[in-house]
Amino acid sequence: AQKVTQAQTEISVVEKEDVTLDCVYETRDTTYYLFWYKQPPSGELVFLIRRNSFDEQNEISGRYSWNFQKSTSSFNFTITASQVVDSAVYFCALSEALVDSNYQLIWGAGTKLIIKP
Amino acid sequence: NAGVTQTPKFQVLKTGQSMTLQCAQDMNHEYMSWYRQDPGMGLRLIHYSVGAGITDQGEVPNGYNVSRSTTEDFPLRLLSAAPSQTSVYFCASSYSRVRRGYGYTFGSGTRLTVV
């Protein structure tokens, strides 16, 4: 079975601290995609990044960075110099092949990030 | 450019009532899906569609029906509402199958309470 584990249910840090959200996945697919989504208190789901299984380069986008390591089946997300506006629930997701060759996303349970001023 | 539009945003139903959650996208996406979000459980797939006239079940399809008569619309029907269906429902669409790396665009969600 394929699954995604976000072991950190809730993280609370003070503004300007760095914080890393962990994501560990299991899959038998050789080709797959990993995603991160953000859900702010307003409730919408916002796409942050996707990464395919053949690209292990780290990615940086402003204060956000992602560390993909196939050897440990992890796709961790780091926020540098956190801000109150980063407070949200963050979801990690893995593409899974369905029987009919279509794909769906398998979601982690999410990590609630609280940034205190 | 509206993206994915879901209606209504909030709904309260009595047990046994039926209703339809509406979802429409204007991006010509071939893939559409419905998820429910429950506390501590992430998102679970209810039904999905890879094109007009094609639908299939996801992880938790019981109690829900869908149809896809057009590319744009993908309504979710609750046949006889039960308290266990109290949840937040999200509609999502994607240009193509997830394997090609396209992310999902989500609607703003419908908060449903069944009493």
Residue B100 has pLDDT above 80, yes or no: no
What are the residues whose beta carbons fall under 8 Å from the beta carbon of A2, sequence distance 6 or more? A25, A26, A27, A28, A29, A94, A96, A106
Least confident of A12-16, A56-60, B84-88: A56-60
Contact state of A45 with B90 under an 8 Å Cβ cutoff: yes
The arithmetic mean of pLDDT across residues B80-103, rounded, is 83
**Which residues does chain A have within 8 Å of residue B106's beta carbon, measured at their own beta carbons?**
44-45
Chain-chain contact of A107 with B109 (C-beta, under 8 angstroms): no
Question: Which of B55, B60, B98 should we substitute to test contact with A (largest number of A Cβ atoms within 10 Å)?
Answer: B98
Q: Sort out which chain A residues have CB atoms less than 8 A from B40's CB and list them.
A: 9, 109
Partner residue opposite A109 with nearest CB, options B42, B45, B106: B42
Per the structure block, which two tokens stand in for B89? 């429902």
Please indicate whether residue A9 or residue B2 has the higher confidence score (pLDDT): A9
Cβ-count burial of B86 within 10 angstroms (0-12 exposed, 13-18 middle, 19+ buried)? Answer: middle
Nearest neighbour of B99 by CB, restricted to A33, A47, A91: A33
Query: What pLDDT band is residue A102 in, cutting at 50, 70 and 90?
Result: low
Average pLDDT of span B18-33: 94
Instruction: Give the B window 30-89 contacts with A, CB below 8 Å.
Output: 31, 33, 40-45, 48, 50, 56, 58, 88
Residue whose token pair is 């949840």:
B87
A with B: how many residue pairs have Cβ under 8 Å apart?
59
Q: Is residue B16 a contact partner of residue B81, using CB atoms and an 8 Å limit?
A: yes
Is the Cβ pair B98, A95 closer than 8 Å? Answer: yes
pLDDT value for B102:
66
